[in-house]
Amino acid sequence: MAPLAACAIALSGCWPFNRTPPQQEYLNALKMGNSAQASQLWLQMTPDQRAQFERGEGIRPGVSHNDVQQAIDEHYAEQEDDGSAPKQAELTPGPSLRDLPSYLKANGAAGAPQPAAADQ
C-alpha cells in the first residue's frame, strides 16, 4: 500500500498542475517565430481555450509584478534627480467648442461663406 501511495504522490506533482497551458504554448511558439507549430497549436485549441487566450488567461507574464513596480519606481527616481520632466503635467484650460459662438460674433461671421454672384 505504501509504494502505491508514494507512486500516486510522485505522479500527482507532474500532472495536471505543472502542465503548460495551450495558450502559453501557443504564445511561446509565436515568440520563437515558429508559425507552423503555432498554427497547429491554434487548430488543436478548443473555442474556450481560444477565448481564454484572447482575454489573456492561461498566459504567464515574463516579468513579475514586483519587477515592473521596481522599474517604475527607479524611472521616477531618476526623473526627480534630473529634473527633466515633472511627474504630472499641468493642464491649462484652452478654447473649446463652447467658445465658438463668441468667436463668430467677434469676427462678424467673416468665416461664413458668401453667396455666389449669379452670372447673366
pLDDT tens digits, one per residue of 31-72: 899 999 999 999 999 999 999 999 888 888 777 888 888 888
The predicted pLDDT at position 29 comes to 92
Determine if the peptide bond prior to 16 is cis (ω within 30°).
Answer: yes
For 89, which DSSP code? Answer: P
In the block, residue with C-alpha cell 485549441: 45
pTM for the structure as a whole:
0.43
H helices within the chain, ranges in order?
2-12, 22-31, 35-44, 47-55, 65-82, 100-106
Q: All 3 cell numbers of residue 16? A: 495536471
> Rounded to whole angstroms, how far apart are CA atoms 78 and 55?
34
**How far is Cα 53 from Cα 59, in angstroms, rounded to an integer?**
7
The answer to whether the beta carbons of residues 58 and 21 sit under 8 Å apart is: yes
pLDDT given at position 46: 94
